[in-house]
Amino acid sequence: MSGKGYIVVVETDDLIRPLLERWLGEEGYSVVAPGQPAPARGELPCLVIANIADPGGADALIAGLRSAYRAPILALSARFRRGLGSSQQAARRLGVRRVLPKPFTRTELVLAVREALA
């Protein structure tokens, strides 16, 4: 297990998911997909990162993730707009800790993870 804990990554894109796993792994996190066991028995995730295809219809997905993992959620979507104000509004509307518009850089992902965990 990595020193910083583990993150559940809910991403269906076969190009983005391995990139997230690599970037997060290089930052010291273990990464698991939904339904995979925790790296250490009984350990809870420190964060859930979820791709939100349709922010307007994401309530059920977010509620399910919150119930299953009881961890802060960082939402990713190509439908989010850039800019601090719109990101904060989207996060409040969805009930998540932070949102990150796609596409994003490694630096932006790491910063968003840190902010979501703060």
Token reading at 104:
């994003």
- Residues whose CB is less than 8 angstroms from the CB of residue 35 and which lie 6 or more positions away in sequence, other chains included: none
Domain that holds residue 112: 6-117
Reference 79, options 63, 60, 93, 64; nearest CA is 93
pLDDT of residue 9: 96
pLDDT of residue 101: 87
Residues 105-117, mean pLDDT to the nearest whole number: 94
In a domain, 1, yes or no: no
Distance CA 102, CA 115 (A): 17
pLDDT of residue 2: 54
Tens digits of residue pLDDT in 71-95: 999 999 887 666 555 577 777 888 8
In a domain, 65, yes or no: yes
Tens digits of residue pLDDT in 9-34: 999 889 999 999 999 999 999 999 88
Distance CA 86, CA 68 (A): 28
What total of structural domains would you count in the chain?
1
Distance CA 95, CA 105 (A): 24
pLDDT of residue 44: 87
Q: What is the mean pLDDT of the chain?
A: 86
pLDDT of residue 1: 45
For residue 92, the domain's CATH number is 3.40.50.2300
Tens digits of residue pLDDT in 41-69: 778 899 999 998 887 788 889 999 999 88
In a domain, 52, yes or no: yes
pLDDT of residue 84: 53
In a domain, 35, yes or no: yes
